[in-house]
Homo-oligomer: A and B are copies of this chain.
Amino acid sequence: MNMNKNLKKAGLKATLPRLRVMELFLNEAGTHFTAEDVYKRFLTEGDEIGLATIYRVLTQFEHAGLLQRHHFETGKAVFELNEGNHHDHLVCIECGKVEEFLDEGIEKRQKEIAAERGFAVQDHALYIYVDCLRENCPNRAAKLSHTKPL
């Protein structure tokens, strides 16, 4: 079992909440969940795991490098499986769809812009808010909680 290893390596006991969270993010790699998304998902699956526990586990997993945290400007943080690849996000403000991209040109220019000023880049966040223009977008109905009109 791969999940137990991940946890052990991070010095975390294999508890039910942690296993459930890990399982969810592994099963739905590429999906971006808020803490509440995770909480509600477990509720519908019959697992009554406290919201505070979800928050704690998500933060622990982030620190362990298992998850990445992002802030789509909607007031709530979203998490996704850390597959080791940095990328930026396109977020549809109509349906919540998230697509990922990585543009080497943009990455390079960012470093140059900081370097020109004598600054050392620590991190960066680039979010492109779009309308995906798909009226029949499946997401438009079952809107995820991390969507908000600009």
Contacts and interface: CB of A to CB of B under 8 A. Distances in A.
B122 A125 contact: no
Nearest to A118: B133
A139 interface: no
Count identical subunits in the complex: 2
Given A126-B125, A129-B124, A119 B106 contact: no
A127 B71 CA distance: 12
A135 interface: no
A14 interface: no
A7 interface: no
A92 interface: yes
Output the residue of A73, A101, A118, A119 with the most chain B CB within 10 A. Answer: A119
A144 interface: no
Given A73-B71, A123-B150, A129-B122, A103 B92 contact: no
Interface string A83-104: 0000000101100000101010
A78 to B, nearest CB: 13
Interface of A: 71, 73, 90, 92-93, 99, 101, 103, 105-106, 109-110, 113-114, 117-133, 150
20 contacts: A73-B125, A90-B114, A90-B119, A93-B123, A101-B113, A103-B109, A103-B113, A105-B105, A106-B110, A110-B126, A110-B128, A114-B128, A119-B130, A120-B131, A122-B130, A123-B150, A124-B127, A124-B129, A125-B129, A126-B126
